[in-house]
């Protein structure tokens, strides 16, 4: 892999990188961020990721995480990026899926993670091998669902484990009770954090958290925030994952064609949503960065450097 993290972080292995936000932690807002990256496929993506990491690391994320291609398609690239991030001094979680893989192979990867210093895993089932929307069938010798994977990981080593949650229900869940039963199974198996699918409606997210609490789930539930790079792409992905696009959001992007304007509106939209989440008491935020620093960087900086910033536009994100 050509990705050079040492360069990205200014060659400061194991130390806080240069250009760090200068205020001490105690003077900053108590908000904590985590950033999700995916392993790049080719050189152009390497450079984009390197610069995203270089720009976002100074925000001192709680952790960064690296996705894993369902069925193991990114196994080596995920591990190599995770190892590089750990060496740079960042706390890093490796994603791991069990779909389409026999148990012994999943166990082997988990043992390799542990041997390489990985202590935090985002444990997932993964989408069906034929793609989102097709019928899911567990591997005959595999872990069938994420809760089985969590139990197996806990047997292998004392990993910190995060799992996925779905404020609008996973497309395969039969009901909301079914959704929460599954989430509880994952937490009971040993997960200590839930990171959610993106959701543009904070009322829906808050309602989900309240239902989870009522179901006896007490671990932190962290909202996943997806930046809007292209509204059409986000709308397509949202429809495949059954995430709703509220009318106000659709209307906001309806007539914008200029890419600069899209970026400006996307940043403002994301900031408003996160400010509203903060007002509701949510302090931990997980950003699906898509390997780009913007608009995540702008939003995090605004929150850290202007803690008194309030959400001026009522209704957005609700």
Give the interface with ligand FAD as residue ranges (CB under 6 A): 67-68, 70, 95, 97, 122, 124-127, 145-146, 164, 170, 172-173, 178-179, 182, 186, 195, 197, 224
Q: Which of residues 165 and 295 has its CB atom nearest to ligand FAD in the complex?
A: 165
| Under 8 Å between Cβ of 172 and 136 | yes
Q: Which of residues 46 and 148 has its CB atom nearest to ligand FAD in the complex?
A: 148
Q: Which of residues 52 and 146 has its CB atom nearest to ligand FAD in the complex?
A: 146
Rounded distance between C-alpha atoms, residue 1 and residue 123, angstroms:
24
| CA-closest candidate to residue 126, choices 182, 70, 195, 65 | 70
Q: Would you name the residues annotated as active-site residues?
A: 36
Which residues, at least 6 apart from 93, have a Cβ–Cβ distance to it below 8 Å? Answer: 34, 63, 64, 65, 66, 118, 120, 121, 122, 160, 162
Name the residue with tokens 């209704």.
315
| Under 8 Å between Cβ of 215 and 221 | no
| Under 8 Å between Cβ of 95 and 67 | yes
Q: Which of residues 12 and 233 has its CB atom nearest to ligand FAD in the complex?
A: 233
Nearest distance from residue 289's CB to ligand FAD, in Å?
13
Nearest distance from residue 318's CB to ligand FAD, in Å?
22
Nearest distance from residue 198's CB to ligand FAD, in Å?
8
| Under 8 Å between Cβ of 73 and 101 | no
Nearest distance from residue 189's CB to ligand FAD, in Å?
10
Length of the chain in terms of residues written:
318
Facing residues of 122 across strands? Answer: 95, 162
Rounded distance between C-alpha atoms, residue 55 and residue 49, angstroms:
10
Q: Which of residues 59 and 96 has its CB atom nearest to ligand FAD in the complex?
A: 96
Q: Which of residues 168 and 253 has its CB atom nearest to ligand FAD in the complex?
A: 168
Q: Rounded to 10 degrees, what is the CA torsion of 212, 146, 42, 109?
A: 130
The tokens describing 50, both together, are 């390197």
Give me the helices (H) in 12-74, please: 43-56
Nearest distance from residue 194's CB to ligand FAD, in Å?
9
| CA-closest candidate to residue 106, choices 125, 91, 93 | 125
Nearest distance from residue 93's CB to ligand FAD, in Å?
10
């Amino acid at each position: 892999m050509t990705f050079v993290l040492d360069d990205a972080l200014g060659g400061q292995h194991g130390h806080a990188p240069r250009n760090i936000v200068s205020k001490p932690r105690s003077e900053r807002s108590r908000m904590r961020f985590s950033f999700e990256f995916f392993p790049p496929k080719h050189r152009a993506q390497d450079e984009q990721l390197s610069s995203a990491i270089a720009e976002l690391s100074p925000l001192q994320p709680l952790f960064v995480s690296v996705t894993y291609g369902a069925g193991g398609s990114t196994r080596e690239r995920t591990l190599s990026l995770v190892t590089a991030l750990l060496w740079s001094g960042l706390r890093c979680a490796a994603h791991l899926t069990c779909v389409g893989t026999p148990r012994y192979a999943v166990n082997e990867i988990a043992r390799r993670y542990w041997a390489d210093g990985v202590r935090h895993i985002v444990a997932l089932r993964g989408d069906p091998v034929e793609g989102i929307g097709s019928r899911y069938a567990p591997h005959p010798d595999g872990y069938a669902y994420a809760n089985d994977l969590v139990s197996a990981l806990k047997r292998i080593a004392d990993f910190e484990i995060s799992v996925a949650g779905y404020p609008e229900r996973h497309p395969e869940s039969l009901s909301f009770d079914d959704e929460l039963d599954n989430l509880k199974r994952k937490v009971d198996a040993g997960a200590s954090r839930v990171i959610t699918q993106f959701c543009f409606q904070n009322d829906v997210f808050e309602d989900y958290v309240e239902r989870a609490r009522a179901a006896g789930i007490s671990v932190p539930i962290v909202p996943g925030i997806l930046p809007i790079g292209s509204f059409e792409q986000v709308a397509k992905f949202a429809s495949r994952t059954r995430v709703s696009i509220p009318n106000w959001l659709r209307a906001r992007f309806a007539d914008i064609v200029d890419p600069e304007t899209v970026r400006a509106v996307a940043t403002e939209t994301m900031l408003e949503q996160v400010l509203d989440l903060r007002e509701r008491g949510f302090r931990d935020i997980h950003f699906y960065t898509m390997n780009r620093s913007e608009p995540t960087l702008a939003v995090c900086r605004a929150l850290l450097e202007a803690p008194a910033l309030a959400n001026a536009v009522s209704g957005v994100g609700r």
